[in-house]
């Protein structure tokens, strides 16, 4: 396992994800379309064509633009969409180039994303992604099916992962959520992979909005040092070109308070809005935790 995962490593995780399935809760809007319940849960309906209105057609499906243009009523026809769209929102800010255990948090994100990508591909669903890019606009990868969808997302993740330590960019997660929101369709599933270091009231509101529109699950990337703080002694901390001395014993109380605030905010979000959260640690084993999280029914 390298410091920075490459595409070969992420492709190799396809074997580990083989045989897994996503049993997810879908919002009611994804199950009910035009007054009848879809037999294919969570797949929704997709526009097919327009034809002349016939007696017995649902008036709610009238296409008023075509009706006005042609001078007589026309109605929209829909076909059942069998492919679920799964979105990965990867918060790849520079602050993820950090880890005190087995791997960097950024490497953990890529490996978890690879699991999710291959499970999506094997299910025949379409995979799309939104990747934060520091202060720049997020990178958007439209949903694609089969292996080509997974490979394109994994290649973008490898290219977009931080290459050196850096200060976390503020606002990136909120912008990525706002970019994704209008793209969501009925029955979509969203996995947000982040350390949520940038979680504020505005970002929380954006997350709640996503959760109301789609099945949303959070993968919270953590490291033991974040929770426990520095041991006793004096340490140089910071990023290249901007470091300072920090005493472990005297900084621990403030460190713990900052961590507790983030932990409490994520827990409240999960409980209040029924958003499942999986905490994945740089010292943990994805093979032990991730399969159950993506396979369990909610």
Q: What is the CATH number of the domain that holds 226?
A: 3.40.50.410
Q: So what's the pLDDT on residue 138?
A: 94
Please report whether residue 257 resides in a domain: yes
Range of the domain at 199: 7-24+83-295
**H/E element holding 154?**
helix 146-160
Crossing angle of helices 146-160 and 105-122, rounded to 10°: 170
Q: Residue 148, Cα to own-chain centre: how many angstroms? A: 19
Please report whether residue 40 resides in a domain: no
CA distance 117 to 126: 9
How many folded domains does the chain comprise? 1
Q: So what's the pLDDT on residue 196?
A: 95
CB 160 within 8 A of CB 4: no
pTM: 0.78
Q: So what's the pLDDT on residue 57?
A: 74
Q: So what's the pLDDT on residue 185?
A: 84
Q: So what's the pLDDT on residue 274?
A: 92
Buried-exposed string 188-225: b where 16+ CB fall within 10 A, e elsewhere:
bbbbbbbbbbbbeeebbebbbbbbebbbbbbbbbbbeb
Please report whether residue 217 resides in a domain: yes
Please report whether residue 51 resides in a domain: no
CA distance 187 to 30: 5
Please report whether residue 71 resides in a domain: no
Q: So what's the pLDDT on residue 212?
A: 92
pLDDT along the chain (298 residues), means of 10: 90 86 48 34 57 77 90 77 83 91 94 95 92 86 92 97 83 93 90 94 94 94 86 69 72 85 94 94 91 73
Q: So what's the pLDDT on residue 135?
A: 67
Question: In the chain, helix, strand, coil percent, each to 5?
Answer: 40, 25, 35
Q: So what's the pLDDT on residue 78?
A: 65
Please report whether residue 48 resides in a domain: no
Q: Say how many CA atoms lie within 13 Å of 150 toward its Cβ.
A: 25
CA distance 53 to 32: 22
């Amino acid at each position: 396992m390298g410091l920075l995962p490459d595409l070969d490593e992420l492709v190799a995780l396809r074997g580990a994800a083989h045989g897994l399935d996503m049993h997810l809760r879908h919002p009611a809007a994804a199950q009910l379309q035009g007054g009848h319940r879809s037999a294919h849960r969570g797949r929704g309906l997709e526009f097919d064509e327009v034809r002349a209105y016939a007696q017995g057609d649902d008036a709610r499906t009238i296409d008023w633009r075509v009706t006005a243009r042609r001078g007589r009523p026309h109605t929209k026809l829909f076909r059942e969409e069998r492919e679920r769209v799964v979105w990965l929102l990867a918060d790849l800010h520079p602050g993820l180039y950090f880890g005190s255990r087995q791997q960097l948090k950024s490497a953990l994100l890529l490996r978890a994303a690879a699991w999710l990508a291959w499970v999506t591909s094997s299910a025949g669903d379409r995979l799309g992604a939104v990747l934060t890019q520091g202060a720049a606009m997020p990178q958007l990868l439209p949903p694609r099916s089969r292996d080509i969808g997974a490979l394109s997302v994994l290649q973008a993740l490898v290219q977009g992962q931080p290459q050196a330590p850096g200060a976390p960019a503020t606002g990136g997660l909120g912008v990525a959520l706002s970019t994704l929101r209008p793209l969501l369709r009925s029955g979509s599933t969203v996995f947000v992979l982040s350390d949520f270091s940038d979680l504020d009231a505005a970002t929380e509101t954006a997350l709640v909005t996503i959760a109301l529109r789609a099945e949303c699950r959070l993968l919270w990337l953590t490291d033991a040092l974040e929770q426990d703080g520095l041991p006793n002694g004096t340490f140089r901390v910071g990023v290249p070109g901007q470091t300072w001395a920090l005493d472990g014993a005297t900084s621990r109380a403030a460190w713990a308070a900052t961590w507790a605030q983030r932990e409490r905010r994520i827990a409240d979000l999960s409980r209040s809005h029924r958003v499942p959260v999986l905490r994945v640690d740089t010292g943990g084993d994805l093979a032990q935790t991730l399969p159950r999280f993506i396979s369990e029914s909610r």
